[in-house]
């Protein structure tokens, strides 16, 4: 499969590996342990979830299932960045997508470049239509996996999707705010249009979760969205005794969040 230029392909591969723990497979063989299809088979899914729970310090099933969604959002972010920055669609086929479990219960991913993978490099109606179809394919792919995982772990599918939506929304905010990601006005406009389509309410769009931006008179850092639901990571035993919350966790009040943000800046 050819891309725009050799340089574009190198940039895409590097970006996916460095930012989204995702590789592109160029042959039939893969060193990644599981295919996404195995998540739909009860016996293999049970084995995978037990492995991930162990890597998470023997986490409870609901915690493992909920955190699976947060981990998988990294792969989804990689797919969207590939589309919006590199005009390249990566396969969401359950047979193409593969992953391995790594330290701390995190995951590394692999897929292939789709046939007819190139989006138009200018904002056109054709690009919008292709992007919408890709969104639907990705949503169907993800929903199948989340439903299967929820049935085994008791995790809430609505919460799982909210975690994905939050991380993808954060991604697009960073893409728009930092010029190094777009460099030209045309690219910025395409990123913003993709962003609008991705989070457009209605039509059973799972990505269209309502989120609020953190505001505090003493916070002068970048704007960021708060999660509507907790990812349950605080229930993992970190060995420190105290519960560890994310800076975007809805369990924190504004002063606690500000304190955590300031503490993180010191380290």
Q: What is the pLDDT of residues 232-263, one digit of tens each?
A: 999 997 655 556 899 999 999 999 999 999 98
Ranges of H-type helices in 33-124: 42-55, 61-86
Does pLDDT of 39 surpass 50? yes
Q: What is the pLDDT of residues 148-170, one digit of tens each?
A: 999 999 999 999 999 999 999 99
Average pLDDT over residues 72-97: 96
Whether residue 250 contacts residue 227, with contact meaning beta carbons closer than 8 Å, is answered with yes
12 domain residue, yes or no:
yes
216 domain residue, yes or no:
no
pTM summary value: 0.93
Question: How many folded domains does the chain comprise?
Answer: 1
228 domain residue, yes or no:
no
Identify the helix (H) or strand (E) that includes residue 13. helix 6-20
Question: Which of 107, 63, 75 lies closest to 230 in space, CA to CA?
Answer: 63
265 domain residue, yes or no:
no
Burial degree of 208 (CB within 10 A; 0-12, 13-18, 19+): middle
Question: Which has more confidence, 120 or 265?
Answer: 120
33 domain residue, yes or no:
yes
Domain around 32: 6-209
pLDDT reported for residue 8: 80
pLDDT reported for residue 3: 40
Q: What is the pLDDT of residues 196-246, one digit of tens each?
A: 999 999 879 999 999 999 999 999 988 999 999 999 999 997 655 556 899
Most confident of 31-45, 178-192, 233-247: 31-45
pLDDT reported for residue 240: 55
> What percent of the chain is modeled with pLDDT above 90?
82
Identify the helix (H) or strand (E) that includes residue 109. strand 107-111
- Structure tokens given for 135: 């969104």
> What percent of the chain is modeled with pLDDT above 70?
94
pLDDT reported for residue 4: 42
214 domain residue, yes or no:
no
Please give the Cα distance from 128 to 192 (Å, whole number): 12
16 domain residue, yes or no:
yes
Strand order in 34-35's β-sheet? 22-24, 107-111, 98-101, 34-35
The β-bridge partners of 265 are none
255 domain residue, yes or no:
no
The angle subtended at Cα 260 by Cα 255 and Cα 265, nearest 5°, is 125
């Amino acid at each position: 499969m050819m891309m725009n230029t050799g340089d574009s392909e190198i940039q895409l591969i590097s970006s996916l590996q460095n930012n989204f723990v995702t590789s592109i497979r160029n042959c039939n063989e893969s060193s990644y342990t599981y295919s996404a299809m195995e998540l739909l088979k009860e016996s293999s899914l049970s084995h995978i979830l037990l492995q991930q729970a162990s890597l998470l310090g023997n986490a409870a099933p609901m915690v493992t299932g909920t955190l699976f969604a947060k981990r998988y959002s990294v792969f989804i972010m990689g797919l969207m960045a590939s589309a919006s920055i590199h005009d390249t669609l990566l396969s969401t086929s359950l047979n193409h997508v593969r992953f391995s479990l790594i330290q701390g219960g995190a995951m590394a991913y692999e897929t292939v470049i789709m046939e007819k993978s190139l989006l138009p490099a200018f904002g056109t109606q054709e690009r919008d239509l292709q992007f919408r179809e890709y969104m639907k394919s990705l949503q169907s792919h993800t929903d199948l996996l989340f439903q299967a995982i929820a049935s085994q772990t008791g995790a809430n599918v609505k919460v799982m999707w909210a975690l994905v939506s939050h991380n993808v929304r954060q991604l697009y905010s960073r893409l728009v705010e930092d010029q190094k990601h777009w460099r030209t006005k045309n690219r910025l406009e395409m990123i913003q249009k993709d962003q609008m389509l991705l989070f457009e309410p209605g039509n059973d769009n799972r990505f269209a979760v309502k989120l609020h931006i953190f505001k505090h008179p003493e916070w002068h850092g970048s704007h960021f969205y708060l999660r509507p639901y907790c990812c349950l990571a605080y229930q993992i035993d970190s060995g420190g005794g105290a519960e560890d919350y994310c800076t975007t966790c809805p369990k924190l009040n504004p002063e606690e969040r500000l304190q955590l943000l300031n503490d993180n800046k010191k380290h």
